[in-house]
Amino acid sequence: MQTTRPSSKIKEFANVLRHEYRHIFRDGGVLLIVVGAILIYATAYSLAYRNEVLREVPVAVVDRSHTPASRQLVRSLDATPNLHVAYKPASLEEAKELFFARKINGAIVIPSDYEKKLLRNERVDLAVYADASYFLMYRQVFFDVMGSVLHSNSDIEWRRFVAKGAQLEQAEALSDPLTLSVRNMYNPYGGYATFVMPAIIMVIIQQTLLIGIGMVGGTWRERRLYRKLVPSGAERMSVVPLVLGKSAAYVSIYTLTLLYVLGFHYKLFGYPMNGRPGDIVLFLLPYVLSCTFMGIALSSLFKYRENSLIFLLFTSIPFLMLSGVSIPEQAMPGWLFRLGKIVPSSSGVDGFVRIQTMGATLSEVGVQFRTLWILTGVYFVLACAGMRNVLLRVERKEPPRTEKSTADAKQQKTIETL
């Protein structure tokens, strides 16, 4: 019984690794996806979200009261950092026209009896129209209006108690009996970039790996390169060295990319870095491996390099949604959330955000960590099975060329020439 020597396995591994590097760095499209895309996308998204929160959201105030109290409320609204009273229309109809013209994102209507009811200590109905089609705009308008109204009410109550003869300290305690202290944990500014960018970066890593590996795999199939890796007269290439050789190329490249993203990009844009470096490295290891093996398994299905772009490019948004970033797990159908666990980004995003943003330890994300290692093993088996099928198909179409078959081919070519 003939056995394959370990040295031949190492040669096959090195041969595959060399060819994979060559096709990555000589193919402009693959190089752009594998190396450039994560840098370009991470920078572009970070610049777009750099302001973190919306400021100076334009609103309109319809003041039907025209009293000192209503004017004070308007000044209070305009003084907030997130709102800007851009228009003061005379009627709600004019405010609607401004809204439909996209000049404002909200409207506040102060009733004509605003001050009178305040002085009588009666309830005042203040109408607020906020653009709920854009949740960030809606959030800023609604909460800032509520904050300004509460502050204005507290000030009116303070003046009323002082007028009745209460001491300043007593009036302040009576007008504002409950002091609310809000602390945004892990996201001090309540910024959108701090919330979404760690998840986006993880999804970008997965998608660029899948697309890049798929493009190279399609190129290998188009140019029939699998057969060329095996010397003339040799047996079929072993599957494990082939998979490990291809994966080693991408893991090494993404190791350098992640060093840039986590070492420089995070500091440049001020994203929270609360995780311990050792925990982050250990967590990212199965994530990158599972994404790589998944890409190799999928690449065995692509006959042409363009197939990977067509198939995988449109999966980015669904994978981001399944990770629980755009919509929480509790609001998602249970079966859909569980189905999303077959994708590395679902566990990868959850665990990475907990470690890097919230400062969790590796043991505290043990479920996500174990899931990624399980996916690594599953996709490694699938990658080996996929590559085995590719080699079998190549072997059926192009049988190994022995010395005899080579000589016969040359003789046949000479006869045809004559």
pLDDT tens digits for range 8-55? 788 888 888 888 898 888 888 888 888 888 888 888 988 888 877 778
On whether residue 360 sits in a domain, the answer given is yes
pLDDT of residue 399: 54
- Does 120 share its domain with 35? no
**What is the reported pTM?**
0.79
Report yes or no on 66 lying in a domain: yes
| Same-domain check for residues 150 and 225 | no
Q: What is the count of structural domains for the chain?
A: 2
Judge if 104 and 140 occupy the same domain.
Answer: yes
Q: Is residue 186 part of a domain?
A: no
Query: Does residue 209 sit in the same domain as residue 333?
Result: yes
pLDDT of 405 reads 45
Residue-wise burial string across 315-343, b where 16 or more C-beta atoms lie within 10 A, e elsewhere? bbeebbbbbbbeeeeeebeeeebeebeeb
295 plus 381 within the same structural domain: yes
* Residue-range definition of the domain harbouring residue 41: 8-49+191-406
Below-70 pLDDT ranges, the chain: 1-7, 151-180, 224-237, 394-395, 397-418
Which of 126, 146, 175 marks a domain boundary?
175
Do the domain assignments include residue 1?
A: no
Residue 352 and residue 223 share a domain = yes
* 413, part of any domain: no
Render pLDDT for 80-138 as a digit per residue (tens, 0 to 9): 888 889 999 988 999 999 989 889 888 989 888 888 887 777 788 888 888 887 777 88
Asked whether the beta carbons of 118 and 124 are under 8 A apart, the reply is: yes
**Which among 144, 175, 206 is the end of a domain?**
175
**Does any domain span residue 24?**
yes
Q: Does residue 298 fall inside a structural domain?
A: yes
Which of 141, 175, 209 is the C-terminal boundary of a domain?
175
94 and 20 share one domain: no
Predicted local confidence at residue 385, as pLDDT = 93
> Residue 78 is part of a domain; what is its CATH number?
3.40.1710.10
- CA distance linking residue 341 with residue 320, whole number of Å: 12
Do 26 and 89 lie in one domain? The reply is no
What does the pLDDT read at residue 285? Answer: 96
- The two beta strands, 106-110 and 127-130, are antiparallel
| Residues 358, 212 share a domain | yes
For the beta carbon of residue 59, count every other beta carbon within 10 angstroms.
30
Q: What is the pLDDT of residue 416?
A: 41
Could you tell me which residues are beta bridge partners of residue 58?
84
**Do 226 and 259 fall within a single domain?**
yes
Structural domain contains residue 2: no
Query: Are 260 and 378 in the same domain?
Result: yes
Are 63 and 42 in a shared domain? no
57-63 and 106-110 strand pairing: parallel
